[in-house]
Each structure stands twice: as structure tokens, then as C-alpha cells.
Amino acid sequence: MPEAIPAVRFAGVRRHFGEVRAIDELSFEVADGEFFSLLGPSGSGKTTCLRLIAGFEQPDAGAIEIHGINVAGVPPYERDVNTVFQDYALFPHMNVGQNVEYGLMIRKVPAAERHRRAEEMLDLVKLTGLRERKPAQLSGGQRQRVALARALINRPRVLLLDEPLGALDLKLREQMQVELKALQRQVGITFIYVTHDQGEALSMSDRLAVFNLGRIEQIDTPTALYEHPASAFVAGFVGVSNVCEGALAQRLAGAPASFAIRPEKIRIAREEVSAAQGCDSAIGKVESVVYLGAATRYLVALDGGGSLAVLYQNADDRDTGLAAGTRVRLSWLPRHRQPLSGQRA
Amino acid sequence: MSSAAQGALGALPAPGPLQRLSNALYLHPRLLLLLLLTPPLLWLGVIYLGSLFSLLLQSFFYIDEFSGVVVREFSLATYHQLFTLANFDIILRTSAMAAVVSVAAAALAFPLAYYMVRYASTRMKALLYLGVMLPLWSSYLVRVYSWKLILAKEGILTWLAEQLHLTWLLDAVLALPVIGGPSLSTSDIGTFLVFLYVWLPFMILPVVAALERVPRSLIEASADLGAHPGETFRKVIWPLALPGVVAGSIFTFSLTLGDYIIPGIVGSSHPVIGQAVYAHQGTAGNVPLAAALTIVPIAIMAVYLSVAKRLGAFDAL
């Protein structure tokens, strides 16, 4: 069997804006049908990466292939990809139906088929009956769905999404995350999803690439990325982590090699309670207590320097007396230490 | 203990009169609105609309042919006069001039405005704004007389045509019927050029404002959905810029319709509406006809705007 052609392939792609290295020697592949996220802080190059695939930018060096075809010099209107823009970019002078049909109208699809497919698309994104509305008369969530329908109606082979949920409130965002993922499975199109929200990326993606300063720090599945971050940057950006380096690492683990440990993997108890068999432990004093609803976050200053954040589920058996100033013992299983390479950002 | 500290600790300090006034205005927003709107409403309502109304009223009076005295009775006789051959010719030629000036101004303004919005750096844009506005800082009369020198028979343009061996072209243009004439400065072509120059800023500025409100992402979205640049222009950029073009053309059109100085300095002997109004209300003392002629541009603008609205020029607003 021949090796499957990736939906998108970057080979040594570079894009600089003057002195700013938006993207530097980037190489990666996105498999066909994959939900692939580009995660990173703002200015890390993820949006530039998306714009290179869409064709709004041209690389300074390297090659980009879409389904095996080198797209150097191919303008956006000749690429088989569509984009859902961060600001939705709906045409304000057209109603919802005209917006959704735009791509088909450009391709000279007959009006009857256009209407039928637009109707289907609006059903798919749950906007049935809103085709006469103008974008200005829609809520943020509805506009987002129109933008999605307008892109999907063209049946692109790759759909690019540039922080499409960024402008929505939390409840709606969580709902849309579930819907987007379901939609992607339903239509079977490759989704390339740009976000700076690690929770979003973890919950939706098959794989994700963590961007930092125009380079990819790590590409992996959400579980692997969370459980085995390759660098201090990834550990800190994907989820919250205690990064222990140098002397602190030496004291806690017996070796100076840097490691990270997730706050929820650390158990917290009063100093006099001894740690379970086989656990590493450290003694310290509670510095602050933040009640988060489902869990409580403690910041513990360790004896001998350094501090660790601890996340403790608010279950029934929780010790509620651990106020600031309490002497506590922290313990964790050695296997939860995640060894790190690379520099801390 | 200082009095200020006492005030901060105990009751609020007693407000001064200014403070009391701003408190009252803050607590009664309608009062503030009334104060804000009274001056412009007085100006617009009484002085502006009032004079317009009296103008309208005047146009329904008529002049007694023998005595030359204005008869203050309702009559449509003056409006009938508008359709005499001489007057109708004036209206038609002035309207045609205004229309041509507007179209040419839009054609010249659009590329410049597009460049200013999409491509120019902040510095370049500031320079261009300055360049567009600069002519408005000098006297209108000075600029029009300079154009007379440029367009005159012995002027710069004739000289330039000679140097380029294009005198035949200039002569051919001047030989055109109706719009031609003995020289550029005494032909309708000359009037057109000066109008175009003088009103161009009034077209550029609204078009820039309209294009500013077309985000780059809309143009990218159109390309992303398969539209070639030409299609993007026709389907996205132009419809969204149209309100600006219409706003600009309202300026260029109505300013051209109303002007009487430029055609008096540069142009043919055929009068335009403005000159006719000037002549009728002044030396001829026929105020009713002058008033009726003034109603013409107002009526034309009303028709123009309703057509523009029907064509969807304001849908994107």
C-alpha cells in the first residue's frame, strides 16, 4: 500500500516580516481527515502558518504542499482550502443566504442547486430559517455558524479555522467545541485549528502542535502532550505545571535534571501525616489558598526554598482546615515527574 | 485634622456651583440632550429651513410683466417659465455638467482613496491627506484665476501642446460641437476641468472614509471563497464603497449645480443655473424665477438620492 499523502505538508518553511521571524524552518505534516490544532501564545507564528496554507502569505523559503501539490505561487482563489476567519468576515451587505452561497455563486453553480445546498448547510449548523437575516442582526454565535457554513459549503479538502471561538462567551464556546468536533467527524474534512486556548486544543484535537517563537516545540496527541511535555515551555503552556530545575530538582528528585509535575498529581496533607509507600515527599507551609469551585489550589512554600502549586479536588474527604500558614506534607509518585528538555520560555 | 481629610472621612464635601450643575446634568440626561440640541435645532430649524421655506414660497409668486412688480399671489406661472427653451437649456446643461463632473471625480478619487486605505504607510497617508486638503486652504478665487491662466489661449496648456507637437489634438478637442470653443478657458471643457479640480477633495474624503470601513479580512474571505480580484472588487469592495461614492457625488453634484463663480471666470457664454439665479434676483429683479430656479437643484438632488437608495447605495450603512 502506498503511503497516504498528507493533507498539508510544510518542508523547511520560513516567513519573516522584516526583523520579525514569524515562522522559522517549519516542517510538519497534517494527515488527511485529521483535527489538527496549532496552539501557542499570540505572536508565536500559528496564524502566519494558517495564512501560508490559505495563500494570503507566501513563504520566503521552503515548500508547502496541499494534498501532495506544491502550492508555491498559487493564489488563495485557486486553492482547495477555505478559512473561517477570527472576525468571521461576513459580507455586511449580503444576507445570511447570500453569504453562505458566495463560493458557489463565484463558481457559477446554478441558483437552484445553490439554494438547496445553502439550505442543507444552514440545517447542518442549526441556522434553519435565518437565511434572510443580515449579519448585523445575528448574535456572535450565529455569525460564527454562518462563517462555518460559508466555508464548508464549498466542500474544501482542508478547512482552516483561525481562533473561531475567540469572541464567544465561555458557555457558548464550550458548546461550539463539542459541535465543531462532531461536525468534523460528520463531514470528514481535515480541520486545521488555530487557538491560544489550551483547553480548547486539548478537548478537540486529534493531534496538536505547540508553537513558540515561530517554531514548533512539540507535536503530539493531547494525552501525550499533557502527560509527557517535551519542554518546560510545553509543560507551562499546556495546562499548569510546576517546573523544577537545578537545586530544587536535586532536592526533590535526587538529580539536577529538570522535570515538571502537574499540580493535580501532588497530594497535600498535614505535616504529621506520613506519605504513602514509594512516594516522594516534601515539607512546607501553605502560602495561599484559592477556592476554585470544583477544586482548591494551594501554593506551598517548601522548606529550603522553592514552591509548588497543588490542585486538590473538593471531594468529601478533603481536609478543609489547610489554611494559609499550615505546615503540610506534599507527596507524589515518582512516575508523575515529567522529565524536560529545552529552555524555559 | 485638615478640612480635606475631614471631608473624606465624614460626609461628602459640599459641592461647588459647577459641581452642582454637572451633577444635575448627569442625573437628568434629557435636560442635557435639550441643551445640546437647542442651538443646532434653532439654526437648522428656524434659520435654515425657514429661509428654504420662504424661498419655496417666493417661487409660487410671479412677476407682473408690465410693472415688473412681484405679485404675491399663488401661481404656477413662474414654474411654467422654467420650461421655456432658454431656461430649460440652462437646467439641462448645468445638470449634465454636474453629472459629468461627479462621474469624473469618482473615477479619479477611487484609485487614490483605495491606495490611501490599503497600501499607503501611515506617513504617506498623512501626506496624501494633506495634499488633498491643501488646495482648500487657499482662496477659491485665486485657484480659479490660476486655472484661467493655465487654460487661456496664450496659457501654459497651449504652450505645452505646442512643445509636444499636439496642437492638432487641442484644436480637435476645441472644435467639438457644444462643449468646444475658441479656447479652453472660454469653453465648457475648461469649466469642467476647473469644477473637477475644485470639488475633487469632496469626493476623495468620503470614499476614503467608506473604504476604511471595509476590513482586509472581507477581501481575503472573498479570495478564499474563490473570487478573482475583479470579482472581489465588483461583489464586495464596490458595493461597500458605494455609500461613500454617493456621499461624495452629493457634494460634487450639488456644489456644481449651485456654483456661479467658476462658469463666470472660465467658460462659455451660456449661463448655468447659478448665474441665472444671480441675474434674476439681482439686476432683473425677478425674485420668483430666481427662487424657482433654486428649487431645481433641490428637486434633482431629491430624485437622485431616492434613485440611489432604491439601487441599494445605502444598504451597507
B213: nearest CA partner in chain A: A92
Q: What is the DSSP letter of B215?
A: -
Q: A96 and A166 share a domain? A: yes
**Cα-Cα-Cα-Cα dihedral sign, residues B169, B173, B177, B183:** negative
CA distance A96 to B64: 62
Q: A19 and A94 share a domain? A: yes
Looking at the structure of chain A, the number of domains it has is 2
Please indicate whether, in this complex, the C-beta atoms of B226 and A154 are within 8 angstroms of each other.
Answer: yes
Cell reading at B85: 427653451
Q: What is the DSSP letter of A13?
A: E
Kindly state whether residue A107 falls inside one of the protein's structural domains: yes
Domain boundary among A196, A221, A246: A221
Residue among B220, B225, B312 whose CB faces A103 most closely: B225
Cell reading at B221: 474571505
Cβ-based contacts of A108 with chain B (< 8 Å): none
**Between residues 61 and 80 of chain A, which touch chain B (CB distance below 8 Å)?**
75-77
Task: Check if A91 contacts B (Cβ < 8 Å).
Answer: yes
Query: Which structural domain range is residue A268 located in?
Result: 263-335
Contacts of B110 (CB under 8 A, 6+ apart): B207, B241, B245
Q: A188 and A268 share a domain? A: no
Cell reading at B44: 437648522
Q: A15 and A149 share a domain? A: yes
Task: Check if B212 contacts A (Cβ < 8 Å).
Answer: no
Kindly state whether residue A189 falls inside one of the protein's structural domains: yes
**Between residues 35 and 94 of chain B, which touch chain A (CB distance below 8 Å)?**
none
Cβ-based contacts of B245 with chain A (< 8 Å): none
Task: Give the three-state DSSP class for A81.
Answer: strand
Question: Taking residues A197-214, what's their average pLDDT?
Answer: 92
Residue among A54, A87, A106 whose CB faces B226 most closely: A106
Task: Check if A89 contacts B (Cβ < 8 Å).
Answer: yes
Kindly state whether residue A255 falls inside one of the protein's structural domains: no
Kindly state whether residue A234 falls inside one of the protein's structural domains: no
End-to-end CA distance of chain A: 42
A147: nearest CA partner in chain B: B221
What pTM was computed for the model? 0.79
B239: nearest CA partner in chain A: A93
pLDDT at B173: 87
In this structure, are strands A259-261 and B62-63 parallel, antiparallel, or unpaired?
unpaired
Q: A191 and A289 share a domain? A: no
Q: A211 and A270 share a domain? A: no
Chain CA centroid to CA B178, Å = 25
Task: Give the three-state DSSP class for A10.
Answer: strand
Cell reading at A94: 449580503
CA distance A157 to A65: 13
CA distance B270 to B92: 12
Question: Does 1.10.3720.10 match the CATH number of domain B79-310?
Answer: yes
Contacts of A229 (CB under 8 A, 6+ apart): A218, A235, A238, A241, A260, A338, A340
Please indicate whether, in this complex, the C-beta atoms of A93 and B240 are within 8 angstroms of each other.
Answer: yes
- Minimal CA separation from A79 to chain B, in Å: 8
User: For the domain that residue A271 is a member of, what is the CATH number?
Assistant: 2.40.50.100
Q: A176 and A60 share a domain? A: yes
Task: Check if B317 contacts A (Cβ < 8 Å).
Answer: no
B317: nearest CA partner in chain A: A93
CA distance B23 to B277: 52
CA distance A217 to A201: 15
Reply yes or no on whether the pLDDT at A219 is more than 70.
yes
Question: Taking residues A71-79, what's their average pLDDT?
Answer: 93
Reply yes or no on whether the pLDDT at A243 is more than 80.
yes
CB neighbourhood size of B277 (10 A): 23
Q: At what angle do helices A140-152 and A170-187 cross, to 10 degrees?
A: 20
Please indicate whether, in this complex, the C-beta atoms of A89 and B215 are within 8 angstroms of each other.
Answer: yes
pLDDT at A293: 87
More confident site: A251 or A193: A193
Kindly state whether residue A254 falls inside one of the protein's structural domains: no
Q: A208 and A271 share a domain? A: no
Can you state the percent helix, strand and coil of chain A, rounding each to 5?
30, 30, 40
Categorize the per-residue pLDDT at A50 as very low, low, confident or very high, splitting at 50, 70 and 90: very high
Identify the residue among A93, A154, A159 best suited for mutation to test binding to B, counting B beta carbons within 10 A and taking the highest. Answer: A93
CA distance A22 to A7: 23
Identify the residue among B224, B237, B246, B315 best suited for mutation to test binding to A, counting A beta carbons within 10 A and taking the highest. Answer: B224
- Minimal CA separation from A77 to chain B, in Å: 4
N residues, chain A: 345
pLDDT digit string, tens, across residues A146-183: 999 999 999 999 999 999 888 788 888 888 888 889 98
pLDDT at A1: 42
Q: A59 and A151 share a domain? A: yes
User: B201: part of which helix (H) or strand (E)?
Assistant: helix B188-212
User: For the domain that residue A54 is a member of, what is the CATH number?
Assistant: 3.40.50.300
Categorize the per-residue pLDDT at A106 as very low, low, confident or very high, splitting at 50, 70 and 90: very high
CA distance A112 to A110: 6
Task: Check if A212 contacts B (Cβ < 8 Å).
Answer: no
- What does each of the 317 residues of chain B score in pLDDT, given as a tens digit? 444 444 455 677 788 889 988 888 889 889 889 999 998 998 888 888 988 898 889 889 888 878 878 888 888 888 988 888 889 999 999 999 999 999 999 999 999 999 999 999 999 999 999 999 988 888 889 999 999 999 998 888 889 989 999 888 888 888 888 888 888 888 999 999 999 999 999 999 999 999 998 999 999 999 999 999 999 999 999 999 998 999 999 999 999 998 999 999 998 888 899 898 888 887 778 889 999 998 998 898 899 889 888 877 776 55
Q: A35 and A160 share a domain? A: yes
Q: A176 and A275 share a domain? A: no
Residue spans per domain, chain B: 79-310
Kindly state whether residue A114 falls inside one of the protein's structural domains: yes
Q: Mean pLDDT across chain A, nearest whole number?
A: 90
Beta-bridged to residue A215, according to DSSP, are A212
Please indicate whether, in this complex, the C-beta atoms of A85 and B225 are within 8 angstroms of each other.
Answer: no
CA distance A55 to A121: 25
CA distance B274 to B277: 5
Q: Side-chain half-sphere of A296: how many Cα atoms within 13 Å?
A: 18
pLDDT at B97: 95
B220: nearest CA partner in chain A: A56
